[in-house]
Amino acid sequence: MTSSPEASLGTHQVTNQPEPVGDRDLLGVDPLFETMLSRSGVGLAELRAYGQALGRQSMRDAARDANRNSPDLRLFDSAGRRLDEVRFHPAYHGFMQLSAAAGYHSVAWEGGANGNLRHAAMVYLASQVEPGHCCPLTMTYAAAPVLAQADGLANWHSAILSRDYDPSVRPVSEKRGATLGMAMTEKQGGSDVRSNRTEAVRDGGDWRLRGHKWFCSAPMSDGFLTLAQVDGAGLTCFLVPRWLEDGRNAIRLQRLKDKLGNRSNASAEIEYDGARANLVGTPGNGIRTILGMVHHTRLDTAMAPAGLMRAALSEAVHWTRHRRAFGRQLIDQPLMQAVLADCALDWAGSLALGLQVAQRFDGTSEDDRAFTRIAVALAKYLSNKLCPQVVCEAMEAIGGSGYVEDGVLPMLYREAPLNGIWEGSANVICLDALRSMKGDGHSAEALRWTLEAARGQDTTYDSALRSYQSRWTTPPSEADARWFVEDTAALLTAAVLLAQQIPLVTEAYLQTRLGQQRGRFYGSLPAGQADGILDACFCG
Residue range 281-319, pLDDT digits in tens? 999 999 999 999 999 999 999 999 999 999 999 999 999
Do 143 and 204 lie in one domain? The reply is no
Q: Give the type of residue at 225.
A: L
Domain span holding position 326: 288-537
- From the list 412, 201, 417, 223, the residue with the least C-alpha distance to 308 is 412
Distance between CA atoms of residues 375 and 492, nearest Å: 8
pLDDT of residue 517: 67
> What is the predicted pLDDT for the residue at 1?
55
How far out from the chain centre does Cα 2 lie? 37
CB 74 within 8 A of CB 87: yes
Same domain? 238 vs 296: no
416 and 432 within one domain: yes
Using DSSP, state whether 263 is helix, strand or coil. coil
The number of folded domains in the chain is: 3
Pairing of strands 206-217, 82-87: unpaired
CA 300 – CA 516 distance, rounded (Å): 29
DSSP notation for 318-341: HHHHS-EETTEEGGGSHHHHHHHH
Is residue 217 domain-resident? yes
Instruction: Give the C-alpha distances (Å, rounded to integers) separating 388 from 166, 316, 343.
Output: 34, 15, 11
Same domain, 331 and 275: no
420 and 312: one domain?
yes
Please report the DSSP string for 462-514 in residue order: HHHHHHHHHHTSSPPPGGGHHHHHHHHHHHHHHHHHHHHT-TTHHHHHIIIII
Of 267, 284, 301, which closes a domain? 284
Question: At a CB cut-off of 8 Å and minimum separation 6, what does 31 contact?
Answer: 536, 537, 539
β-bridge partners, 273 = 210
Residue 20 placed within a domain: no
Q: Where does residue 457 rank: exposed (0-12), middle (13-18), buried (19+ CB within 10 A)?
A: middle
Are 529 and 401 contained in the same domain?
Answer: yes
Answer yes or no: do 187 and 258 share one domain: yes
**Does one domain contain both 276 and 293?**
no
Pairing of strands 223-230, 180-183: parallel
Residues of the chain with pLDDT under 50: none
What pLDDT is recorded for position 144? 97
**Are 449 and 502 part of one and the same domain?**
yes
What confidence score (pLDDT) does residue 488 get? 97
Examine the domain organization and report whether 223 and 325 are in the same domain.
no
What pLDDT is stored for residue 439 in this prediction? Answer: 83
What is the C-alpha end-to-end distance of the chain, expressed in Å?
25
Question: Is position 42 within any domain?
Answer: yes
Do residues 181 and 153 share a domain?
Answer: no
Angle between helices 286-321 and 115-127 (to 10 degrees): 50
Q: What is the pLDDT of residue 218?
A: 92
* Calpha distance 164→116 (Å, rounded): 20
331: in domain: yes
| Last residue of one domain, picked from the residues 265, 284, 303 | 284
What is residue 219's three-state secondary structure?
Answer: coil
Same domain, 408 and 306: yes
User: Is 198 within 8 Å of 211 (Cβ atoms)?
Assistant: yes
Q: What is the pLDDT of residue 528?
A: 77
Residue 174 DSSP one-character state: G
CATH number for position 210: 2.40.110.20
> Counting every residue, how long is the chain?
540
C-alpha distance from residue 520 to each of 316, 325, 334 (Å):
21, 26, 18
Q: Is residue 22 part of a domain?
A: no
Q: Does 357 map to a domain?
A: yes
Residue 189 within a domain: yes
Q: Looking at 324-464, which runs of residues are DSSP E strands? A: 324-325, 328-329
